[in-house]
Amino acid sequence: MVAVEMVALAGAAALATPAPLLLSSIAPRDSSIGTSDFVSELPHCATPCVEQFCSLSNQTCICGPDKSAVDHCVLASCTMQEAIFTRNATEITCAAPVRDRRMKFNVMIVAITCVTLPIVTARLVYKQFFSISKRLNTEDWTIVLAILLGLPSVALTIFGLTAHGLGTDLWGLSSADLVAFGRSFYAIQVIYILLMLLVKLTLTFFYLNIFSGHRVRILLWGTIAFHIMAAAAFGIALIFQCLPISYQWNKYNYINDPSLEGHCINVNAGAWANSAVSVASDIWLLAIPLSQLYKLQLHWKKKLGAAIMLFTGVIVTVVSFLRLASVKDYATTSNPTWDQWDIVWWSTIELEVGFICTCLPTMRLILVRMAPKAFGSSQSTNSSYGANMHRLESNSTMHTHREAYDDVTLHDVPLPKRSSAPASSSVERVPKAASQIAVSSLREELSTTGSSIGTKPGDAWQTHASSLMAKHPTTWRGSV
């Protein structure tokens, strides 16, 4: 479940006829060239950039601190193919060491996947076999799609990106490696957009299942529409940012190929917009449940626990900000295999944390089931598991969502002991016991009616309670 967002490595116009790049002498590894060879093989567009800062015969200057300024000039004056060739030739001339952090990335992605996958699997197994309804909801099927798409992306990252240079300098790579890197990088960007869409939809569908207020549901459906339209817009821009599409990865091929033609639009602004929208939507998805939390008739300790669980989503937002900072190198690098490492790193963590956050409510249910004394309320063990209800104040109510929030107990009342006295006498003489019987009766009714009560929005549970009150008006008087 790794990805990176939209790339705009160059705002290049149509590819000009390349200068005679005698690349056979620019070996990618374990070699260096003299200054005269370096000058003779520079693309015509790069020569003025070098001369602006250094004499072409002064290797010390060429390899000095102005090298970065020369690189920016070349990126602005040349095509990506020519810029990559110039950077490769310069670093080999200067005998620059080849940095390598590929192993660090592979260890991270394997480790975090080994944490995320069991959590998601536990969520799905619990919902299908151990929850009250014993079925997967819309948000569960959405996370299933994300897993089916995310697992191949892990393999693509390891065997496509890092195997072909992600995390190392391009002057330690062959041209074929760079082309393979570009092809994998292009594919992983598309997967990233789809995975982020599925993660955000999972959370939004989850909110739809637990919040039944008319206004909040309108906001949630609008949020779903926005996520889909934004992903479609950014995805289309990404897919067609270079024409022909194959130029997206062929532009990394620094070997002189007169038949290689193409151009890319400058979508760096789109990359920034995509990152900004992602951060804003993270904040929005965090604000929605927090805005409804205060309406719940919960003990303050339970409200605090729910808030802490929701605030884990802040981690996703923080990671999104960190990824946003790495976008600055997207369109301004001639060393993509090294500079794009940061954006891939933070995007991977962002997605994995997003997967984990979508599973936290169910993970709490699993913990309550395994250790009710440690993770449940003091009275929840006396009540039928899964029959707890939520209620919102005013006109907005939260209907029962047994698979997600059974751990939140609003009306935990112990079942009364059986009395030898007649029922009518019990009602008249012990009003509190009658109240307990009434509430327990409602629980039993709700538990045996299946998922229909819990999944209806609005006041479905209240309607059912009213019908029970009508049947037993004396018993129910003052009980709820």
424 CB-contact burial (10 Å; exposed 0-12 / middle 13-18 / buried 19+): exposed
Domain boundaries, the chain: 30-93, 102-370, 380-476
148 near 198, Cβ under 8 Å? no
Over residues 163-167, the mean pLDDT reads: 95
385 confidence band (pLDDT: 50, 70, 90): very low
What was the pLDDT predicted at 211?
Answer: 82
47 near 56, Cβ under 8 Å? yes
30 confidence band (pLDDT: 50, 70, 90): very low
pLDDT digits (tens, 9 = 90+) for 217-246: 999 999 999 999 999 999 998 899 888 999
pLDDT digits (tens, 9 = 90+) for 184-213: 999 999 999 999 999 999 989 988 888 888
Class of domain 102-370: mainly alpha
* Per-chain mean pLDDT for the chain: 73
CA angle 44, 48, 51 (to 5 degrees): 130
Q: Which residues contact 418 (CB under 8 A, 6 or more apart)?
A: none
What was the pLDDT predicted at 425?
Answer: 41
pLDDT digits (tens, 9 = 90+) for 278-325: 888 888 888 888 787 766 666 666 666 666 666 666 777 788 777 877
Residue 303 burial (CB count, 10 A): 15
430 confidence band (pLDDT: 50, 70, 90): very low
pTM metric for this prediction: 0.71
Cα separation, 418 vs 138, in Å, equals: 42
Over residues 14-42, the mean pLDDT reads: 48
69 confidence band (pLDDT: 50, 70, 90): confident
**Which helix H or strand E contains 243, and what residues bound it?**
strand 242-243
Q: Which residues contact 204 (CB under 8 A, 6 or more apart)?
A: 220, 223, 224, 227, 285
236 CB-contact burial (10 Å; exposed 0-12 / middle 13-18 / buried 19+): exposed
End-to-end CA distance of the chain: 47
DSSP structure string for 334-354: S-HHHHTHHHHHHHHHHHHHH
